[in-house]
């Protein structure tokens, strides 16, 4: 009876989820216990299984419970196109928003020598091996537009150049439907200097 009540421990444990503060953790705990115990039990089971079985694809490093992910084993994906992203979330966003049908390399980070994150931590040895195989014709750099994202993109572009693989960078500019005066100056400047003939 002296230990922390289970309900308090549940509220605390829910805070491992991003965006969940003390108030919403309490609301979540009470609501699942009062209204959806079946769903809560399923969540507990799937969460445990996910942590225990989901690792990284041996080829592209995205999250998967298999040695190779769905995309890497899919023989219908274009093996001449390789897109480099920072996170599995970025990869999902591209899968959901674009018609890209090539393959991926997921960095799981950005180059950051001061934090001890070098080429090896981003699996760039593995990426270089794929480039060396000679099948890839275009390497698309879809890393973020932060300073670290740009540094990472340039490092990889240099590597691809060494293997004579064409490298492209996703376009930066005004978001679709965006009004010029709501866009930050850096984006506007990029969009202006990246202008094309119509």
Q: Which is nearer to Zn ion, 85 or 111 (CB)?
A: 85
Q: According to CB under 8 A, which residues from 155 to 174 bind a second copy? A: none
Element (H or E) spanning 26, and its range? helix 22-35
Give the Cα separation of 124 and 120 in Å (integer).
6
Q: Which is nearer to a second copy, 103 or 167 (CB)?
A: 103
Give the total of residues touching Zn ion (CB under 5 A): 5
When asked if residue 72 is in the footprint of Zn ion (CB under 5 A), the reply is: yes
- Judged by CB under 8 A, the residue of 78, 80, 92, 135 near a second copy is 92
- Judged by CB under 8 A, the residue of 81, 94, 108, 117 near a second copy is 108
Q: Which is nearer to a second copy, 66 or 161 (CB)?
A: 66
* Non-local CB neighbours of 11 within 8 Å, separated by 6+ positions: 22, 25, 26, 29
When asked if residue 88 is in the footprint of a second copy (CB under 8 A), the reply is: yes
Q: According to CB under 8 A, which residues from 18 to 77 bind a second copy? A: 18-19, 24, 26-34, 36-37, 39-51, 53-54, 63-66, 70, 73
- Judged by CB under 5 A, the residue of 69, 140, 141, 153 near Zn ion is 69
132 binds, among a second copy, Zn ion, none (CB under 5 to 8 A by kind): none
74 binds, among a second copy, Zn ion, none (CB under 5 to 8 A by kind): none
Output helix, strand, coil percentages for the chain, rounded to the nearest 5: 50, 10, 40
Element (H or E) spanning 168, and its range? strand 166-169
- Strand pairing class (55-56; 63-64): antiparallel
State the minimum distance, in angstroms, from the CB of residue 13 to a second copy: 4
- Name the E strands within 50-146: 55-56, 63-64, 81-85, 103-106, 138-141
Q: Which two tokens stand for residue 148?
A: 């670290």
């Amino acid at each position: 009876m002296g230990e922390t009540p289970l309900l308090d421990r549940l509220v605390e444990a829910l805070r491992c989820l991003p965006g969940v503060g003390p108030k919403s953790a309490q609301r979540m705990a009470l609501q699942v216990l009062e209204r959806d115990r079946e769903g809560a039990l399923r969540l507990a089971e799937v969460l445990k299984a996910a942590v225990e079985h989901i690792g990284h694809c041996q080829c592209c490093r995205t999250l998967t419970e298999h040695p190779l992910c769905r995309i890497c084993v899919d023989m219908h994906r274009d093996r001449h196109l390789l897109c480099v992203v920072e996170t599995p979330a970025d990869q999902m966003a591209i899968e959901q928003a674009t018609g890209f049908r090539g393959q991926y390399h997921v960095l799981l980070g950005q180059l950051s020598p001061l934090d001890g994150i070098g080429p090896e931590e981003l699996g760039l040895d593995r990426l270089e091996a794929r480039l060396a195989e000679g099948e890839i014709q275009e390497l698309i750099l879809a890393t973020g537009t932060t300073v670290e994202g740009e540094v990472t993109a340039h490092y990889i572009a240099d590597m691809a150049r060494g293997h004579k693989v064409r490298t492209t960078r996703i376009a930066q500019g005004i978001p679709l439907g965006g009004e010029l005066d709501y866009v930050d100056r850096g984006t506007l400047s990029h969009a202006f200097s990246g202008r094309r003939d119509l």
